[in-house]
Amino acid sequence: MIHLTSNHSIAALVGLLLDEWIGDPTFYTHPVILISRMAYFFEQKLYSNERSAIIQRVHGGILTMLVLLIVYTLTTLIIWIATRISPWVGFALNAWLISTTIAAKGLAEAGRRVLQSLQCGNLTDARKYTGYIVSRETTHLDEPELVRATVETIAENIVDAVISPLFYSMIGGAPLALVYRAANTLDSLFGYKNDRYLNFGQMSARIDDVLNFIPARISLLLFATLAPFFHKTPSSIVRIVKRDAKKHPSPNSGIPESACAALLQVQLGGENRYHGRSHVRAYLGDPILPLSQQTIVGVTRILWVIVCYLLVICIIGVFM
Per-residue pLDDT reduced to its tens digit, 224-268: 999 999 999 999 999 999 999 999 999 999 999 999 999 999 999
Name beta bridge partners: 274. Answer: 277
Residue type for position 275: H
Comparing 2-6, 58-62, 137-141, which segment has the lowest mean pLDDT?
2-6
Q: What is the value of pTM for the model shown?
A: 0.93
Residue type for position 32: V
Residue 196's pLDDT is 84
Q: Average pLDDT for residues 102-122, to the nearest whole number?
A: 96
25 alpha-carbon distance from chain centroid: 16
Residue 61's pLDDT is 94
- Give φ, ψ of 193 to 5 degrees: -90, 60
- pLDDT band for position 88 (cuts 50, 70, 90): very high
Residue 31's pLDDT is 86
pLDDT at residue 3 above 80? no
Residue 2's pLDDT is 41
Residue 37's pLDDT is 93
Angstrom distance (rounded) from CA 257 to CA 196: 28
- List the one residue out of 224, 183, 160 whose CA is nearest residue 61: 183
Angstrom distance (rounded) from CA 298 to CA 318: 31
Residues in Cβ contact with 146 at an 8 Å cutoff, skipping those fewer than 6 apart? 114, 118, 123, 126, 127, 130, 138
Residue with the larger pLDDT of the pair 307 and 193: 307
Angstrom distance (rounded) from CA 21 to CA 26: 15
What mean pLDDT, rounded, does the chain reach? 92
Angstrom distance (rounded) from CA 256 to CA 241: 8
**Burial of 123 from C-beta contacts in 10 A (0-12 / 13-18 / 19+):** middle
Q: If you count DSSP H runs as helices and E runs as strands, how many of each does the chain have, helices first?
A: 13, 2
- List the one residue out of 82, 74, 109 whose CA is nearest residue 5: 82
Angstrom distance (rounded) from CA 301 to CA 169: 24
Q: Average pLDDT for residues 5-21, to the nearest whole number?
A: 85
In the chain, what's the furthest Cα-to-Cα distance?
58
Name beta bridge partners: 270. Answer: 281
Angstrom distance (rounded) from CA 15 to CA 9: 10
Angstrom distance (rounded) from CA 252 to CA 270: 18
| Residue count of the chain | 320
Residues in Cβ contact with 160 at an 8 Å cutoff, skipping those fewer than 6 apart? 184, 212, 253
CA 249-105-221 angle, to 5 degrees, is 50
- pLDDT band for position 276 (cuts 50, 70, 90): confident
Q: Average pLDDT for residues 113-128, to the nearest whole number?
A: 97
CA 163-147-108 angle, to 5 degrees, is 40
Residues in Cβ contact with 251 at an 8 Å cutoff, skipping those fewer than 6 apart? 209, 213
Question: Element (H or E) spanning 171, and its range?
Answer: helix 164-190
- List the one residue out of 51, 15, 296 whose CA is nearest residue 181: 15
pLDDT at residue 142 above 80? yes
- pLDDT band for position 85 (cuts 50, 70, 90): very high
- Give φ, ψ of 156 to 5 degrees: -60, -40
Angstrom distance (rounded) from CA 13 to CA 3: 15
